[in-house]
Amino acid sequence: MLTDYSLASTEGAKTLRNVRITPDVIAALRALHGRFLRGVPRGQRTVLRHCDLSGLDLRGVDFSEGEFFACDFRGALLIESVFRSAELFGACFDGADLSAADFERADLRAATFEGADLTAARFEGADLREGAIMDAVKRKVTVDGGTTFRSATLRATDLSGTKLKNADFSGAILDGTNLKGADVRKAQFRGAEVINANLEGARLADADLRGALVRGVDPRALAGSMAQLASRVGGDQTSVEVALRAHAEWFEQGGQSGQQADFSGMDLSGCRLAGANLALANLELAVLVETDLSGALLAAANLRGANLLRANLTGADLRGADLLDANLRNAAMADTKVGQLPGTSLITQLQSMAARR
C-alpha cells in the first residue's frame, strides 16, 4: 500500500484505511503533501481514515488541508505541527504533546484531547462541536459526543472564535487561555483551573463551572452569562464553623437533631477544616483548593467532582468516601485512610481526574 501511495499522481487523492502508519510512511506522506500544498506536480493530498499514528514523532509536520478521519494520534509528539483547515473529525489526541500546534479552522468535531499538552496551541475558528462516527461494517456508533479536553493542559492556548458547545474541560488547566468569542454553551469545566482566561464575548449559557477554580477572570464576562457557578463562601469561617457544629450534632445524635452539612457547589477555599467532622457530609462539586483538611473525618462523604487541588488531606479518613471525578492534583495524601468503611459495604472511590493525566 505504501508503494501505491508514494507513487500516486495528482489525479486524485488515494486513501489509506485501517493501517498502522510507520515513520517511513510519514516521510513519504510529508513529501507528497508538501508538493500538494505548494501546488507543484506530483503532489498528493494526505487522506487517512481510521489509521494508527499513535506514539509517532510528528514534530513540525504540515498537513494543512489534509484528512485524518477518526485517526489515532495518542501519545504522539506533535510539537509545532500544522493542521490548518484539516479534516480531523473524531481524531484521538489523548496524551499527545501538541505544544504550539496550529489547528486554525480545522474540523475537530468529536475529537479527544484527554490529558494532552496544548500549551500555546492555536485553534482560532476551529469546529470542536459534538459528533458521531458510524462503523460501516459493525453498523454501530464508535464515537459519539462532544470534544473532550479532560485533564488537558491549555496554557496560553488560543481557542478564540471556536465552536465548543458541549465540550468537556473537566479537570483541565486553562491558564491564560483565550476563549474570546467562543461558543462554550453547555461545556463542562468541573474541577478545572480557569486562571486569567479571556472570556470576553464568550457564549457561556449553561456552561458548568461548579467545582472549578475560577481566578483572574473579568467578572463582567460571567455576569449575566447564565453559566452555572460555584456559590461563593471563600473565607467566611464563621458560617462554616456554625454549619460544622450543626453537622457534628446531627452525626452524634443519629440525625435526631442538628443538620447534615451540605457544602455542595460551594467555594471553601481558604477555610480551616483541619480535624473537622465531615462524615457523610455533602461536598459534591465543592471548591477546596489549598484547603487544610488534615486529620478530617470524611468517612462516607460525597466529594464527587470536588476540586481538591493542592489540598492537605494528610491523615484524613476517606474510608467509604466518593471522590469520583475529583481533582486531586498535587493534593497531600500521606497517611490517609482509604478502603472499606467498617460495618458498611462502602469503599473509597478514588478514580480522580488527576489519575487520568
Gap between the Cα atoms of 250 and 247, Å rounded: 5
Gap between the Cα atoms of 221 and 233, Å rounded: 21
Nearest to 89 by CA among 32, 144, 170: 144
Q: C-alpha dihedral over 328, 334, 337, 339, to 10 degrees?
A: 60
Contact at 8 Å (CB) between 283 and 302?
yes
* pLDDT number for residue 13: 64
- Point out which residues pair with 231 in neighbouring strands: 266
Q: How far apart are the first and last CA of the chain?
A: 36
Instruction: Give the DSSP letter string of 106-146.
Output: -B-TT-B-TT-B-TT-B-TT-B---EEEEETTTTEEEEEE-
A 10 A CB-CB count for 339 gives 12
Spatial CB neighbours of 220, under 8 Å, sequence gap ≥ 6: none
* pLDDT number for residue 24: 96
* pLDDT number for residue 123: 97
Q: Write down all domains in the chain, each with its CATH number in brackets.
A: 149-229 (2.160.20.80), 231-357 (2.160.20.80)
User: What phi and psi, each to the nearest 5 degrees, are found at residue 208?
Assistant: -100, 100
* pLDDT number for residue 130: 82
A 10 A CB-CB count for 337 gives 16
The secondary structure of residue 341, as a DSSP letter, is P
Ranges of residues in the chain with a pLDDT under 50 are 1-11, 136-144, 234, 354-357
- pLDDT one-digit tens code per residue, 277-322: 999 999 999 999 999 999 999 999 999 999 999 999 999 999 999 9
Gap between the Cα atoms of 213 and 203, Å rounded: 19
* pLDDT number for residue 4: 37
The secondary structure of residue 356, as a DSSP letter, is G
* pLDDT number for residue 183: 95
* pLDDT number for residue 356: 41
Gap between the Cα atoms of 120 and 156, Å rounded: 5
Gap between the Cα atoms of 247 and 202, Å rounded: 40
* pLDDT number for residue 223: 85
* pLDDT number for residue 136: 46
